[in-house]
């Protein structure tokens, strides 16, 4: 079975956002936003406050999420291909196993974000009568745009960032061990104390 339609998921989200805003303010009637394994393809969430929300396994292909607050949110296994996340807050966000292929993450704050592979290679999640199975892997950020982003203390072990743009990024104390960084552009990037042990950097620009 497939995920719910984007229209159905977005309709559910609209009401949940109001309750989530109250949750973040610790006010009566508040409820943490939990929308796992939903279809948010093409949604416009620009400027939304989604801090601490749980979007595990949700698809955001082509979504518009500029200036979105996703601090400490759970985006495990999400599909963010070609999503526009410019200037968004992804500090301490869980991005384990997320797909960021060709996503625009320029000028985002990804400090302390966790982009490693999940502890279990394969997990099954049941939502209602539907069971979703996902193979767990580290972030795939092939051809993603991180220009000017802040990735200090981010965990990118084993990530695939082939041909990604890291121009003018800060990657201080960033863990990039065993990451695939072929043909990446690190021009002007600050890699002070970054861990590149075992990283594949063929053709990368520094």
- Confirm if 63 and 45 have CB atoms less than 8 A apart: yes
- Show the tokens assigned to 168: 């003018």
- Confirm if 94 and 76 have CB atoms less than 8 A apart: yes
pLDDT of residue 120: 47
How many C-beta neighbours within 10 Å does residue 44 have? 13
In this model, does residue 123 exceed pLDDT 90? no
pLDDT: which is higher, 92 or 5: 92
Q: What is the mean pLDDT of the chain?
A: 92
Could you tell me which residues come within 8 angstroms of residue 126 by beta carbon, excluding any fewer than 6 positions away?
A: 132
In this model, does residue 116 exceed pLDDT 50? yes
Mean per-residue pLDDT, 156-168 = 98
Sorted by where each begins, the domain ranges of the chain are 33-206
In this model, does residue 17 exceed pLDDT 80? yes
Q: What percent of the chain stands above pLDDT 70?
A: 88
Largest CA distance in the chain: 55
Could you tell me which residues come within 8 angstroms of residue 195 by beta carbon, excluding any fewer than 6 positions away?
A: 173, 174, 175, 176, 177
In this model, does residue 108 exceed pLDDT 60? yes
In this model, does residue 1 exceed pLDDT 50? no
In this model, does residue 39 exceed pLDDT 70? yes
User: Domain 33-206 - what CATH class?
Assistant: mainly beta
Of 138, 143, 150, 140, the C-alpha closest to 185 is 143
**Residue 121 pLDDT level (bands cut at 50, 70, 90):** very low
What's the half-sphere exposure (Cβ side, CA atoms, 13 Å) at 10? Answer: 11
Calculate the CA dihedral of residues 7, 13, 14, 17 and round it to 10 degrees: -160
In this model, does residue 15 exceed pLDDT 50? yes
pLDDT of residue 42: 96
Q: Highest mean pLDDT: which of 7-11, 127-131, 192-196? A: 192-196
Mean per-residue pLDDT, 57-83 = 98
What is the value of pTM for the model shown? 0.88
């Amino acid at each position: 079975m497939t995920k719910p339609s984007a229209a159905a998921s977005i309709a559910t989200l609209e009401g949940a956002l109001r309750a989530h805003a109250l949750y973040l303010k610790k006010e009566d009637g508040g409820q943490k936003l939990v929308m796992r394994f939903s279809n948010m393809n093409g949604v416009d969430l620009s400027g939304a406050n989604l801090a601490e929300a749980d979007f595990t396994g949700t698809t955001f292909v082509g979504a518009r999420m500029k200036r979105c607050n996703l601090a400490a949110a759970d985006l495990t296994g999400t599909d963010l291909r070609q999503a526009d996340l410019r200037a968004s807050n992804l500090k301490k966000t869980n991005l384990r196993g997320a797909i960021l292929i060709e996503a625009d993450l320029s000028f985002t704050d990804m400090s302390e974000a966790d982009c490693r592979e999940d502890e279990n290679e394969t997990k099954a999640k049941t939502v209602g009568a539907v069971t979703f199975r996902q193979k767990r892997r580290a972030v795939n950020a092939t051809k993603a745009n991180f220009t000017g982003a802040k990735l200090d203390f981010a965990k990118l072990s084993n990530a695939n960032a082939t041909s990604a743009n890291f121009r003018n990024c800060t990657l201080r104390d960033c863990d990039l061990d065993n990451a695939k960084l072929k043909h990446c552009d690190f021009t002007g990037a600050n890699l002070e104390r970054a861990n590149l042990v075992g990283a594949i950097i063929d053709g990368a620009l520094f």
